[in-house]
Amino acid sequence: MSRLKLFLSLLFKAAWVRKDRSLTALISVAVVATMATAALTLYFDLENKLSREFRGFGANIIITKQGALTPYELALTQYPQYRNGPSLPASARVVPVAYAIATGPDGSRVVLGGTNVAQFRELNSGWSIQSVGHAHTQVLLGSRTAKVFSPSGAPFPISFGAKQLVLEPEAIFNSGSHDDSRIYVDLQKFTSLTGVQPNTALVRVEGRPQEIDEAISRLSSDFPELEVKPVRQITAVQTAVVGKTRSVVLASSAVIVVLIMLCMAATFTSAVLERRKDFAVMKALGASNKTVNLMFAAEAALLALAGAAMGFVAGSAIAYWIGRANFDAAILPQPALLLPVLTGSMALALLASTLPLRLLQQIQPAGILRGE
């Protein structure tokens, strides 16, 4: 017990007396732990946060059928609890859409869509939408169609067969896709004009690409009469963004960790050279190489533990801030990362002290004490 007490006393005193070296090593470990904690916290929660960001990009699954979707099929698609096992998660959004080719005021053809306009706008919340003065008419005009039919948002007629309907645009939208060449109106108004019932359902499943694929498989199995396809542009971009962002986070963190390790190695080496007389006296008094090495390694491990604890707190705070700043949602600390961060920081500190430990073994007490 007395030896352990003496060992701990020497350990803490050595760290306290040489505050500059200890502080440098402590900061180095804290920076490594901070980067590791922030990167790993982001890594584990990044996919969920990016998946939420993709909500505004519209549907990622399209359900179609030869002929109209029956009310039964729409009900089962939107409310899967009526069937054995859920086809879609509770958070999924399903918006039925009907399409027809109408004739514009200049005699040109245009794709007319009928849907629940409020739900359709919510599904595509990422679109750029500009109100044009006709409130609550539930008429959405694509930007390319607007240039031809109604540049200023003025009312214009369209016809389908012998029937004609005057549309008063509520808003002009820019989606960056083929939807910009379409017109969307309230489903009841659409059906009165065309007599066409919905044969398409736009589905938005929140989650990772794997979860989207699982939802497609379940829908295909539960509804074999329907054609269920992913929107490849959305799912492919989502997968690519997640993969590249993770790669950048891990690569940048790895570079910083390597640089900090070099700094730690230089700090520990300087500490050995500065304290070589102290270690020479210990050896002269009978301390073995093992004891001296153990003391130096324990000092490095102690600094690593303190720095890692500080770094875990700082890294969790940085991840939380990144989540708030970029995703409007907090990325909460991951307590399960504490032990790996502590263990990893100690391992890095001991690895960085490998060269200094070799220098310790080469110290010859007689030569050092004679001033050689």
What pLDDT digit, counting tens, does each position of 143-167 carry? 999 999 988 888 999 999 889 999 9
In 3D, which of 121, 104, 117, 116 has the Cα closest to residue 166?
A: 104
The owner of tokens 């269920």 is 228
How high is the pLDDT of residue 81?
A: 46
Tokens of 317: 């705070």
Query: Region 60-87: what's the mean pLDDT?
Result: 65
Q: Which of 80-94, 176-190, 297-311 is predicted with the least confidence, judged by mean pLDDT?
A: 80-94
Q: 140 pLDDT exceeds 90?
A: yes
Q: Is the pLDDT of residue 311 over 70?
A: yes
216 forms bridges with which residues in the sheet?
none
- The residue type of 95 is V
Provide the phi-psi class of 161: left if phi over 0, else alpha when psi is between -120 and 50, else beta.
left
Handedness of CA 31, 33, 38, 40 (dihedral sign): positive
pLDDT at 189: 92
Q: Of 138-147, 242-251, 329-338, give the range with the top mean pLDDT.
A: 138-147
C-alpha distances (whole Å) from 287 to each of 4, 15, 290, 353, 360 are 14, 19, 8, 20, 12
Q: What is the mean pLDDT of residues 307-328?
A: 81
Look at residue 48 and tell me whether its pLDDT is greater than 70. no
What pLDDT shows up at residue 85?
47
Higher-confidence residue of 46 and 134: namely: 134
Distance CA 313, CA 70 (A): 55
- Average pLDDT for the chain: 76
d(CA 27, CA 195): 72
CA atoms of 176 and 111, how far apart (whole Å): 16
Least reliable range by pLDDT among 63-72, 83-92, 244-253, 361-370 = 361-370
Answer for the pair 197, 188: CB distance below 8 angstroms, yes or no. Answer: no
Mean pLDDT in residue range 293-315? 80
